Amino acid sequence: MSDGSVTRAVRLAVAGEPPRLEEKVQLPVPGDGELLVELDHAGVNPIDTYAATGMVGDLARLPRTLGVEGTGVLAGTATRVVVTGLGTGLVRDGTWAGAVVAPRGAVVELPAGVDPAQAGAIGVAAVTAYDALHVLGGLRAADRVLVLGAGGGVGVVAVQLAKLAGASVVAQVGSSAKADAVAALGADRVVVADAARLVAELDELSPTLVLDPLGGAFTPAAVELAAIGGRIVILGVSSGENVSLPGRTFYRKGLSLLGYAGLVVTPERRATAIHAVAAGLVGGTLRIPIDEVVALDRFEDAAARLRERSVFGKVVLATQE
Ligand SMILES: NC(=O)c1ccc[n+]([C@@H]2O[C@H](COP(=O)([O-])OP(=O)(O)OC[C@H]3O[C@@H](n4cnc5c(N)ncnc54)[C@H](OP(=O)(O)O)[C@@H]3O)[C@@H](O)[C@H]2O)c1
């Protein structure tokens, strides 16, 4: 629990060494353009593991509190906000804490009625799904959308958003464990396939828009499958960083391969996505499946579950005691 000047927080001191929960971390006095947020939930994302190893983030800004998304109330008020972006958890203190002092641009007010655990998971994966589909991908009702990694944090929201837009949606999962749950999100079809089997499984699909968080052998499979003039949005490389494309197929179909980088999205664009997702949550047209809410002191277990691929949707940390 924060007393306004100190807070408990999961801190990274040296990249590559285990982060630790510290009970009394001094909070800075909020300066001009900064806000103190009393956090209660914070999402766990693959990038947190990359940050802990030093693969992303500013190594000159250590020790640093981890966590790139979270929610709570503006100190002394009941105003619920999301904290994310502008280097949260990467170049400045993050959300795996009882409180954070954040720049105003990283704080977005939510409408009343958003479930706090789901609010803790809006900032990165849900924003990415919205922004990658609607802004970068130009999602239309006529699209046949293929969502790869559909049981993950980005995928579970992407499936629902594409259906809400009127598109048809085929969702890929790596094992049958998540298939029924993804179908319950509204996917027209769920295919259980690795990259090697994907093309054979979806031979007739001809997707016009592919959301690809997996990279590796999945991206060339998406090129083989895509319709003429199709768009492939690659936003992650969970299955492998090196992507080798069938170049002739790619240009003969006139495909577009679009890279999505949340780290360079403007605060205004991020806020638009947060408001759109929050409106869906309040209105009951959208939900962020929360697989588990884990106490802050079990942050390592939460991150391990993500790496083991046992999570459906999101794992969220409860940051207050
Ligand atoms: N560019 C950006 O701004 C941005 C923003 C958010 C996320 N990302 C990236 O996008 C990716 C997905 O994020 P997320 O939050 O959805 O992650 P997540 O919750 O961990 O879900 C990813 C899904 O991908 C599948 N997967 C994981 N490892 C895999 C592997 N080695 N081979 C095949 N499938 C694998 C898993 O599904 P199955 O178990 O069903 O196979 C998992 O459910 C991550 O790489 C993340 O870093 C990028």
64 with 138, same domain: the answer is no
Check residue 255 and give its pLDDT: 98
Q: Is the CB of 125 under 6 A from ligand 1?
A: yes
128 with 257, same domain: the answer is yes
Residues 6+ apart with CB under 8 A from 294: 44, 301, 302, 315, 316, 317, 318
252 with 131, same domain: the answer is yes
- Tell me, yes or no, whether 184 lies in a domain: yes
Q: Report the SS3 class of residue 96.
A: coil
Residue 219 alpha carbon to ligand 1 centre in Å: 13
256 with 159, same domain: the answer is yes
Residue 31 alpha carbon to ligand 1 centre in Å: 36
109 with 205, same domain: the answer is no
Check residue 1 and give its pLDDT: 45
Those residues of the chain that have pLDDT short of 70 are 1-4
Check residue 321 and give its pLDDT: 83
Atom of ligand 1 nearest to the CA of 309: 39
- Tell me, yes or no, whether 51 lies in a domain: yes
Mutate to test the pocket of ligand 1, among 86, 159, 238 (most ligand atoms within 8 A of CB): 238
Q: Is the CB of 215 under 6 A from ligand 1?
A: no
Atom of ligand 1 nearest to the CA of 314: 19
Contact 75, 37 (CB under 8 A): yes
Q: Is the CB of 178 under 6 A from ligand 1?
A: yes
253 with 139, same domain: the answer is yes
- Tell me, yes or no, whether 274 lies in a domain: no
Q: Is the CB of 219 under 6 A from ligand 1?
A: no
Check residue 4 and give its pLDDT: 54
- Tell me, yes or no, whether 149 lies in a domain: yes
Show the tokens assigned to 8.
């408990």
CATH number of the domain encompassing residue 232: 3.40.50.720
Show the tokens assigned to 30.
């909020």
Atom of ligand 1 nearest to the CA of 240: 31
Q: Is the CB of 67 under 6 A from ligand 1?
A: no
Instruction: Report the chain's mean pLDDT, rounded to a whole number.
Output: 97
- Tell me, yes or no, whether 178 lies in a domain: yes
pTM: 0.97
CATH number of the domain encompassing residue 15: 3.90.180.10
Predicted confidence (pLDDT) per residue in 198-236, tens digit: 999 998 999 999 999 999 999 999 999 999 999 999 999
110 with 12, same domain: the answer is yes
Q: Is the CB of 313 under 6 A from ligand 1?
A: no
Domain count, the chain: 2
- Tell me, yes or no, whether 202 lies in a domain: yes
80 with 14, same domain: the answer is yes
Q: Is the CB of 173 under 6 A from ligand 1?
A: yes
Enclosing domain of residue 236: 124-262
293 with 230, same domain: the answer is no
Distance of alpha carbon 39 from the chain centroid: 18
138 with 90, same domain: the answer is no
Would you list the DSSP string of 32-91? Answer: TTEEEEEEEEEE--HHHHHHHHTSSS-TTS-SEE--SEEEEEETTS--EEEEE-TTBTTT
174 with 238, same domain: the answer is yes
